């Protein structure tokens, strides 16, 4: 049932006093909300509810949405963390070689080391806030890696097989502590200079 839908946004917080929410977009086609008025919200317990989008507008790098029947801060708080979805058959067509963010989530990421593949972990999220290039949030138990998703690092993206193969610079994964803001900005700049990968959001 979950595979019948794709996630195009995620509710980050409440916004305003009339039930509005601010969402992080996972789509390159926000203009399609003009025609995509029927949406679905999937909560952490995998419960899905239908929503009717009344209004939407950009605000500080996010999109503010107002849904019918969500008219108070309490109503809006119930949506925090929910994935905003559409049926898979309604997604926009992409150019050849492009992928959807939702297809990256859950993929196993490996990197080439000495002509063999070293498994790093699983894509838990994709961070678009760090700069030009999105960062794959890859987790292996308690360890978390932030890996720029850029074409220069990619060897193979097999969304059907749930695998991503990369060739990463030496030392990128040797992280004993979380990255500082300066280190994140430097990695994002280096990734942007390497060219953006074949990726598109929904």
Cα–Cα distance measured from residue 180 to residue 65, given in angstroms and rounded to the nearest whole number: 32
Pick the CATH number of 2-89 from 3.20.20.140, 2.40.30.60, 3.40.720.10, 3.40.50.150: 2.40.30.60
Closest by CA position to 16, among listed 54, 83, 70: 70
What is the topology classification, in CATH, of domain 101-193? SH3 type barrels. (2.30.30)
- The pair of structure tokens assigned to 69 is 């029947």
C-beta of residue 127 within 8 angstroms of C-beta of residue 141: no
| CATH 2.40.30.60 boundaries in the chain | 2-89
What are the pLDDT digits (tens) for 150-195?
Answer: 888 989 988 889 999 999 988 888 754 344 455 556 655 655 555 4
Q: What percent of the chain has a predicted confidence (pLDDT) above 70?
A: 79
Instruction: Report the predicted TM-score, pTM, of the whole model to 2 decimal places.
Output: 0.58
| CATH 2.30.30.240 boundaries in the chain | 101-193
**How many C-beta neighbours within 10 Å does residue 138 have?**
22
Residues with Cβ within 8 Å of 49's Cβ and at least 6 positions away in sequence, in order, are 40, 41, 43
What are the pLDDT digits (tens) for 8-39?
Answer: 889 999 999 999 999 988 877 788 898 889 99
């Amino acid at each position: 049932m979950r595979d019948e839908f794709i996630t195009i946004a995620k509710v980050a917080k409440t916004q305003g006093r009339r039930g509005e929410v601010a969402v992080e977009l996972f789509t390159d086609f926000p203009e399609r909300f003009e025609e995509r008025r029927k949406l679905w919200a999937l909560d952490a317990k995998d419960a899905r509810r239908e929503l009717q989008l009344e209004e939407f507008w950009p605000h500080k790098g996010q999109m503010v949405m107002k849904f019918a029947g969500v008219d108070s801060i309490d109503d809006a708080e119930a949506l925090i963390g929910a994935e905003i979805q559409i049926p898979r058959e309604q997604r926009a067509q992409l150019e050849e070689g492009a992928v959807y963010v939702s297809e990256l989530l859950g993929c196993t990421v490996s990197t080439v080391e000495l002509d063999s593949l070293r498994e790093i972990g699983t894509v838990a999220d994709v961070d678009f806030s760090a700069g030009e290039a999105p960062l794959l949030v890859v987790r292996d138990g308690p360890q978390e890696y932030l890996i720029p998703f850029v074409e220069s690092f990619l060897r193979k993206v097999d969304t059907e097989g749930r695998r991503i193969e990369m060739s990463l610079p030496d030392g990128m994964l040797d992280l004993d502590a979380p990255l500082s803001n300066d280190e994140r900005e430097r990695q994002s700049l280096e990734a942007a200079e390497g060219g953006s990968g074949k990726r598109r959001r929904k």
